Structures are given as C-alpha cells and as structure tokens.
Amino acid sequence: MMHEQLDISGLVKRFGGLTALNSVDMTVGSGELLGLIGPNGSGKTTLLNIVSGYYKADGGSINFERRPVLGHAPHQLARQGIGRSFQVTKIFRRLTVLQNMLVAGLSDGAQSQSEATDRAMGLLRDLKLERLAHERASSLSGGQGKLLEFARIMMLSPKIVLLDEPFGGVHPELKRFMHDHIRKWNDSGVTIILISHDMGSIFDLCQRVVTLSYGDIICDGTPEETRNDPAVLDAYLGDHHGAA
Amino acid sequence: MSLVAILEQALNGLIVSSFYALAALGLAIIFGVLRVVNFAHGELYMLGGYAYFLAVASMGLPPVVGIVVAAAALAAMGALVEWLLIRPVYDGRADRPEEYSIMITFALSILLLNLANSLFGPWPRRPEPLFRGGVEIGELIVSGDRLAAAGVAVVLIAVLLAALRYTWAGRAVRAVSQNREAAAIFGISVTRVGMLAFATGAALAGLAGALMGPVFNVVPPMGVIPVIKAYVIVVLGGLGSIPGAIMGAIILGQVESFATILIPDPSRALAYKDAYGLVLLVGILLLRPQGLFGTKERRA
Amino acid sequence: MKLQTLRLLGLGLILLVFLALPLLLGDYWVYTITIGFYYAILAASWALLVGYIGRISFAQAAMAGLGGYASALSVQHAGLPPVLGLAAGVLVAGALGFVIGRLTLRLHGAYLGLTTIAFAEILRITATAEYQLTEGSRGLQVEPLLQDGSRSEYYYLFLAVTVACLALMTWLLRSRVGLFFQSIREDEDGAASLGVNVTLWKTVAFAISTAFAGLAGGLYAHFVQLITPSMMSLQEMGIVLAMAVIGGFHNVVFAALGGVSLQVLLEGLRELGEWRLVVFGLITLLILRLMPNGVFGTVADVLTDRLRKSGDDK
C-alpha cells in the first residue's frame, strides 16, 4: 500500500473578506496521479500556491513526507521535492533553453556544472528539445515553452509535481505527447497533482479526482464517481462553466 | 512656543503644501494612467519656470498670461515626450517596459537639466511675481507673492478635480487609471488618454514651476528638490491616487514646517530639512508600499 | 571556440592599448583616464545589479561617496593606512548595501527606484549636514593613496584594480551565481520554484554591487585627495547611468568601457561647454530607445552574428 505523502488538514485561506479555502482536508498517497478540478475561483490554484510555499495559510497544517510545509519558502520546498508549474509559463526568456535547465540543476549546489549539463541534455532529448538547447527561450513556441517547464521541473528530481493548467492553449498532438510524459513520470514513482479545466485529460489520466467549489471539497472519488456526482454537476452548471 | 508662532508654522506649511500638491498631482495622474513614475518631473517643473520667465521678462506679457503660456508650452512638451519616449512602454516595443520607463525618464531629466544650463545659463532669474507685498491676517504676516501663488494653486487643483469628475476626458482618465482593459473595451482610446495624461501632468508641473519661479528663483536645478517632495507625497498617498496626493501634500507641508523646530541647532536643522520627507518615504515604502490611504493589491 | 578566442583577443587588445597609453599621452590625459577608471568600476558595479539581477538602484553614486568618506575618515581618525581605509570603505558600503537590499526585497521597479533615490539623498544630505565630521560642501581633504605617487603610477594602479574588479565580477557572473541572478531578473517566482533562494541572492547582489561602488569611491577620494557631497548627487548618478547604458548595461565589461570612453569624450569636448552634456543626454535617450544593448553590446552582437553566419557557410 502506498504511504501518505502529502497530508493537508483544516487548511484555511482568506483574501480580505473572501474565503478562498474553507478548512480543506486532503491526503495524497505517494505515487498517485490526482486530478484537482472545480469552477473558476473554487480555490484550486490557491491550494497549489500554499502547498508550494507561495501563499501563507490562515489556518490548518500541511505535512509533506511527515515534515511541515507551512512557513517554508518556495525554494526550500522545491529542494525538498515539491515541483510545480505555472498557469502562465514562467520560463526565463532571455536565457538559453539549457541555462533554464541548469538553474534547476544547480540551485541546491549538489551537482557540478558538467553533471547537471549531462542530465539536462538527457531530459531535453526525452522531450525533443535537444536541438534548441542553445537557443534563447524567448524563441520557443508556446507549446515548447510548456515542455521546457516540464523538463525544468524534472531537473529538480521532485517527489511530487503540481501541474497548473498544463494543457491551456496546447494543440492536440502536443497534448497527447504531454499525456504520455505525465504517465511516464507517474510510472517512475512521482506523485502528480493535476489541475485542469480539460475534463477529457483529467478523466483520461487520473485514478482519483478531487472537486473544489467555493473553497470546499465537494467530491473526492474515482473519475466515474465524480462524473455522476450531482453536486459536481451543480457546481459547474450553477456557475455556467460547461465541462469542456 | 507661542500660539502665533504655531499658527505661522501651520500656515506656512499649508502654503508649501499647495505648491507641493500641484507638482505631485501631475506625477499621480501620469502614474495612474501610464504606470510610469516620471523621473523627469522636476525638470518639467523647471521648464515651466523658464517658460514663465521668457513670457513675462523677455516678451513683457502680464504675469497671468505668463502662467497660461507656461501651462500650454509644457502640455505640448508633455505630449511630445509621451509620443517619442513613453509610448514604447505599453505598445510592446520595449523589451523590459518598466526598466525602460525608469531609465528613459531619468535620462530625460539629465538631458533637460543640462539643456537648460546651456540655453539659459546657471544664473538665477527672478521674473515679476503675480502679486507683491505682505498680507496681514490678524497678527500673522505672510508674504503676498507666496499667498497669491498658493491661492492660484488651490484654484487650479479644484479646477483639475472638477475636470476629472465632470468632463468626458477626465472620466476617461479615471477609467483608464482604474482598469486599463475594461476602459479599452468600452471604447476609450488608451493611447490617446495616455498622451492626455502625460500632457496634463507636464502642464501641472509647468504651472507649479511658473508659480514658484518668481517666489524662489528660476534656475536650472530648481526642480531637483521639489520633485523629491513630489515623490514623497505620491508615495504617502499611494502612487497614482489623486486624493492621496492632496492628503500627502498637506501632511508633508506640516511635517517639514514643524520638524524643523525640533532640532535645536538651527543651521543643522536647516541642512536636514529636506531629509524628513525622505525618511518618511522610505518608511512608507517599506511598511506600507500601497501608501497611507491605498488598499493592498493582491498578488495574482 | 572561435568566438571565444576572438573575444579574448579583443579584450587583450584593449588591455594592451590601455597599458601603452601613458607612454603616448601627456599628464593631463593620463589623469583624465585615471578618473575614467573610477567611472568604469562604478558603471560596471551598477550594471551588475541592474543588468543581471534586474534590480534598479539610484544610490550607486551615493554608495561611492559613502565608501570615499568611510575610507577618508578612517584614515584620518583611526590612523589606518590608506589601503586599509579602502577596505573599510568597501565594508561600510557593502554592509549598507546588504541592509538596503534586505529592506527592499518586496519592492520592484519604480518603487525600488524611489526608495534608492531616498537613501541616496539621505546619505548626501547627511554628508552635507555633518560638517564637523565631513567639512560639509566645502569638501574633505583626503590622504593620498601613494606617497608622492606620479600620475602614471596612479594610472597603472587604477588600471590594475579595474581589471581585477572586472575579472572578479565576470568570474562571479559566469558561475552558477550569475545564472541565479539572471533567473531572478527573468522571473522571481519561476526561479524560486526551481530552488533558487531569491531572498538571499537579491540581498547579496545589492551588497556586492555597493561594495564595488565603495571601492571605486575610496580610490577616487584618495586619488583626487578631496571629497565633496556633490559626488553623491543624483546628477552624478545620471552620468553613471548614462555611461553604463551607452556602453551596454547587460555586460559589466561593456559598461566599464562606457565609463572610461565617456569620461575621455567629456574631457575631449570641453570646448563645447555645457552643450557636451546635452549631447551626452541625447545619446543616452537614443541608445535606450533604439539600441538597448548599448554601443559595445550592439557591436559585439553584430560581430558574433557575422562570425556565426560565416561559420554556417562553410
């Protein structure tokens, strides 16, 4: 049986008078591929920002591999094995693709420059970015940028990866390629939490789906259970967000 | 300290505040619309002083006309600067727009300062003021030129506030300040409002310079100190906030007026006079970067 | 490979020219270029901060002044030899830079610009106001760095220190630290998500940059043997900014070359009077607007491009 890797309990986050997360409890097992869905403003990205250290919480606790997460800076959590992507890719546009990779490879000081370069080139090869290694990242297409962000995260050798809308604006062929890679990572033992509005991808990839609405978890089950849950349907239809 | 002395300090503070407010409002409008801190604002103020000087002393126009000339000249200059230098900030031509906007306005200030030095020479000029003589209010004596200039400044500020509230252009400026995208959707030309804002901001700086020039002196570095006050004021009130700028000016005027009498050694007190506002600025930016009256912007 | 050798060749050639100059020029020009080396270090230190980590500062000239005063006063009052005075200046400027860097972590862009202007002006006003210590705007007499040093001795000393500073900066910026700086410039959140300690490097970058500025200021003070608060003014800061921008502020060597060459040009065009500063300001605006990599940066880009293309043809 897989052990509990990420344990979130009673997590609260408020922005002024608005409650973004209303005492959220959730555990994620090591090696899971979990989908996190919900209408706009339901608190998905807020949750992800707290787990990766970008936001402070107003209450509750988070443990990652039995170590507390809250109170740690993003770079510390990244080094402890929490990798994340951003809705709008945050690649370093004026650095080369390889330099983008090296930032992640060298940040904890454990690898030498040549070791990190070798590893980076290997990962770039996997993602078919190898021949662009010495180009500036600003010359990449949107989809290539998403792939570079993937590759950079893998450079960290993370234990868990939080993906925030990785398929936004990506054409279908590339999306399939990304699906394959997400599965491959997951098969190699990396836990993945996937936020997406793309229900096809979510139901296709994930064994378990958690649905947030107005800061509450309204459903936590298999894709089948989620699809048939009236509360989930209500949350989406009530907000006029068709499940795309 | 006697009551009269206190009143005198307070009144002096208010007079100074009205000058400061005029200069700072231009900075606030420009920042509100364009998200650009105009580091050349002090030099626009200085050019306003010279425009007034040329109109009144060289061309022999009456002081009131001189002030109008200064405003018009600086409005034209502001529109030109916006078109030539500021537009790349938001039309995507500048690679790093914020860095570019800071450096380009800072470089512009150096250019204008040296241009004035070359064109007009470093000598101080003293054009005819709006009004001469002293005014007595009870036991208080205030110099007339300062009071007149302050009065005009207050009227101008009132006119500006009314224009922002009741004219179509003013409402467009406020709309763009609050939400650029929404304003654009409602058919407001963001480019045109940007030019209008920079021209208005420059005109306000020029007006302040034209009013102040005869009270102090018209000289190339005359804008260096007032612009720093203007920075303090807009930061106090929250960058881009117009009511904030007015409150900031009132606060700074009083702080400077009274803080000077706290240091017993008078020559030292005088030397440090310009530092109080700066300490205030640093404190605000570090503790409450949204300003005393602003609301916090949430990081998305 | 070829590009690398060409680059080294170019730098070697420039160094040779600087080594030979005192043999060809009179005392006046040797003096002028020595001052140019002060600007070179200062412009490079500013470029290190603005060009690499993307933090703007208008306090660089004030930091040079602080380093100068700290060095001069510690020599005068604590009886330190000038070399240790310089070290004190570096420490004081670096320490204040560390504090400012730490305090301004959350500030960006124009907000950071305004804060650094305030710090710069507070320093300048303090140097003016504390006249018992600093002689105020009359200026403070400073011990010479070299007893009975000749113009060319100072020249070679300044040249050596400038080259050493640039080598140190280049080494740092080529290392992983330089990579972290640039990742922070490009995207702070993105850098943090990859394990870069953004807080640490932003603070350290400020401290390193101001420490170099402090060194430049100390050297200048002990060379000219007079220091006044006007070297801390925003006008002086404008000149440093213009030098770095014209040279190319995305590269410390280009910024330094901008510093020396503009100092020489400004002296050479003396008969134009104040107009040369107008031209100088105009060029800065044009460069910012049309040639954001600066003169040397653009020349280097064009050469690199040519070389690449000719390599492709083969």
Residue B296 has pLDDT above 60, yes or no: no
Length of chain A: 244
Interval B68-107: pLDDT, tens: 999 999 999 999 999 999 988 888 777 788 889 999 999 9
Q: Is ipTM beyond 0.85?
A: yes
Question: How far is A82 from chain C, CA to nearest CA, in Å?
Answer: 9
Average pLDDT rounded to a whole number, residues C237-264: 94
Query: Looking at the partner chain, which of C176, C182, C199 has a beta carbon nearest the beta carbon of A73?
Result: C199
**Gap from A18 CA to chain C (nearest CA, Å):** 24
Q: Tell me which architecture the domain covering B3-287 has in CATH.
A: Orthogonal Bundle (1.10)
Q: What are phi and psi of B146, to 5 degrees?
A: -65, -45
- Say what the pLDDT of residue A134 is: 93
The helix or strand, by DSSP H or E, that contains position B218, with its residue range, turns out to be none
Q: Would you give the end-to-end CA distance of chain C in angstroms?
A: 15
Structure token digits, residue A241:
């967000």
CATH code of the domain in which C183 resides: 1.10.3470
Q: Chain C residue with minimal CA distance to A98?
A: C179
DSSP A57: -
Q: How many residue contacts between B and C have a Cβ separation below 8 Å?
A: 131
CB A103 within 8 A of CB A109: no
Q: What is the pLDDT of residue A239?
A: 53
Q: Give chain B positions within 8 Å (CB) of C238.
A: 106-107, 109-110
* CA-based nearest residue to A99, from C173, C298, C197: C173
What pLDDT does residue C136 have?
82
Convert the pLDDT of each residue in C200-224 to its tens digit: 999 999 999 999 999 999 999 999 9
For B103, the closest of C111, C245, C281 (CB atoms) is C245
Chain C nearest CA to A83, separation (Å): 7
At A243, give phi and psi (nearest 5°). -70, 105
Q: Which token pair is B202?
A: 């420059």
User: pLDDT tens digits, residue range A111-157?
Assistant: 899 999 999 999 999 999 999 999 999 999 888 999 999 999 999 99
Which residues are CB-contacts of C75 (< 8 A; sequence separation ≥ 6)?
Answer: C81, C82, C85, C142, C143, C222
Q: C192, A94: Cβ pair inside 8 Å?
A: no
Q: Determine the distance in angstroms separating the CA of B226 from the nearest CA of chain C, rounded to an integer.
A: 13
pLDDT of residue A2: 56
Q: Which of A13-17, C4-8, C109-113, C160-164 has the highest mean pLDDT?
A: C160-164
Q: What is the percent of chain C with per-residue pLDDT over 90, rounded to a whole number?
A: 69
Residue with tokens 């300490």: B279
**Pairing mode, strands A4-15 and A82-84:** unpaired
Query: Does residue C238 register a pLDDT over 60?
Result: yes
Q: Among residues B173, B200, B267, B123, which one has the least CA distance to residue C131?
A: B267
**Binary contact (C125, B231; C-beta < 8 A):** no
| Burial grade of C311 (CB within 10 A; 0-12, 13-18, 19 or more) | exposed
Q: Tokens representing B91? A: 């039309």
* First and final C-alpha spacing in chain A: 34
Residue B298 has pLDDT above 80, yes or no: no
Q: DSSP letters along B2-70, please? A: -HHHHHHHHHHHHHHHHHHHHHHHHHHHHHHHH----TTHHHHHHHHHHHHHIIIIIS---HHHHHHHH
Tell me: the pLDDT tens digits for C55-107?
999 999 999 999 999 999 999 999 889 999 999 999 999 999 999 999 998 88
* Residue B33 · residue B172 · CB < 8 Å: no
Task: Give the chain B residue nearest C118 (alpha carbons).
Answer: B278
Percent of chain B that is helix, strand, coil (3-state, to 5): 75, 5, 20
pLDDT above 50: residue C119: yes
CB B22 within 8 A of CB B233: no
pLDDT per residue of chain A (244 residues) written in tens, 0 to 9: 457 899 999 999 998 888 899 999 999 999 999 999 998 888 999 999 999 999 999 999 999 999 999 999 999 999 999 999 999 999 999 999 999 999 999 998 888 999 999 999 999 999 999 999 999 999 998 889 999 999 999 999 999 999 999 998 888 999 999 999 999 999 999 999 999 989 999 999 999 999 999 999 999 999 989 988 888 888 887 654 444 4
Is A67 an interface residue toward C (CB < 8 Å)?
A: no
pTM: 0.90
| Residue C225 burial class via C-beta count within 10 angstroms: exposed 0-12, middle 13-18, buried 19 and up | middle
**What residue of A is the nearest CA neighbor of C175?**
A113
Distance CA B176, CA B162 (A): 17
- Specify the DSSP class assigned to residue C249: T
Of C115, C119, C274, the CB nearest to B114: C274
Neighbours of chain B (3+ CB pairs under 8 A): C
Which residues, listed in sequence order, are joined to residue B135 by a DSSP beta bridge?
A: B142
CA angle A104, A108, A112 (to 5 degrees): 80
Residues in contact with A172: Cβ distance below 8 Å, sequence separation at least 6, in sequence order: none
Q: Tell me: pLDDT of B204 over 80.
A: yes
Whether C198 sits inside 8 A of A75 (CB atoms) is yes
pLDDT score for C34: 95
Residue C95 DSSP code: H
Structure tokens at C187: 């995207």
| Lowest mean per-residue pLDDT among A155-159, B5-9, B211-215, C18-22 | B5-9
CB-closest option in C110, C118, C131 to B98:
C110
Measured distance CA(A72)–CA(A156) in Å, rounded: 17
Give the percent of chain C with pLDDT over 70. 98
* Phi, psi (rounded to 5 degrees) for A221: -165, -165
Name chain B contacts of C292, Cβ cutoff 8 Å: 94-95, 100
Residue A73 contacts C where some CB pair is shorter than 8 Å:
yes
Partners of C107 on chain B (C-beta within 8 Å) are 285-286, 289
Q: How far is A13 from chain C (nearest CA, A)?
A: 20
- B285: tokens are 């930016």
Tally the residues of chain B: 300
Domain of residue C250, residue span: 2-313
Q: State how far the Cα of C79 lies from the Cα of A13, in Å rounded to an integer.
A: 59
CA-based nearest distance C94→chain A, Å:
24
Burial (0-12, 13-18, 19+ Cβ within 10 Å), C88:
buried
- B23, B12, B8: which is closest to B246 by C-alpha? B23
| Domains of chain A: residue spans and CATH | 4-238 (3.40.50.300)
Strands (E), B173-295: none
Model pLDDT, residue C314: 45
Strands A160-164 and A191-195: parallel
C96/C48 Cα distance (integer angstroms): 17
DSSP letters of B72-132?
HHHHHHHHHHIIIIIGGGTSS-SSSHHHHHHHHHHHHHHHHHHHHHHHH-S--B-PPPS--
Q: Does the distance separating the beta carbons of C288 and B98 come in below 8 Å?
A: no
Amino acid at A215: G
Pairing type for strands A33-37 and A208-213 reads: parallel
With an 8 Å Cβ cutoff, is B91 touching chain C?
no
Q: Specify the number of domains making up chain C.
A: 1
Token pair, residue B229, equals 């006050």
pLDDT given at position B268: 75
What is the Cα–Cα distance from A39 to A45, expressed in whole angstroms? 11
Q: Which residue's entry shows tokens 């590269």?
A: C251
The rounded distance, in Å, linking the Cα atoms of B116 and B113 is 5
Q: Which of A55, A169, A150 is nearest to A97 (CA)?
A: A150
> How far is residue C246 from each of residues B45, C44, C62, C242, C295, measured CA to CA in Å?
27, 12, 21, 6, 6
What is d(CA A240, CA A235) in angstroms, rounded to the nearest whole number?
9
pLDDT in tens, B259-288: 767 777 777 777 787 888 888 888 888 888
More confident residue, C292 or C52: C52
Residue C50: list chain A partners with CB under 8 A: none
Q: What is d(CA C217, CA C65) in angstroms, rounded to the nearest whole number?
A: 6
Task: Report the C-alpha gap between C136 and C134 in whole angstroms.
Answer: 5
Option in A86, A92, A106 nearest C186 (CB): A92
Q: Provide the pLDDT for residue B300.
A: 29
| Dihedral angle over CA of B82, B85, B91, B97, nearest 10 | -120
First to last CA, chain B: 52
Q: pLDDT by residue (tens digit) across C6-59? A: 888 889 999 999 999 988 988 899 999 999 999 999 999 999 999 999 999 999
Picking from C60, C99, C112, C115 by the largest number of B CB atoms within 10 A of its own CB, the best residue to mutate is C115
Q: Evaluate whether B277 touches B232 at the Cβ level (below 8 Å).
A: yes
CA angle B207, B211, B214 (to 5 degrees): 140
3-state secondary structure of A133: coil
Contact list, B285 vs chain C (CB under 8 Å) = 104, 107, 111, 114-115, 118
Q: Give C128's strand partners.
A: none
Rounded to 5 degrees, φ, ψ at A33 are -120, 100
Does residue B20 have a pLDDT over 90? no
If we measure between CA atoms, which residue out of B60, B28, B70 comes closest to residue B164? B28
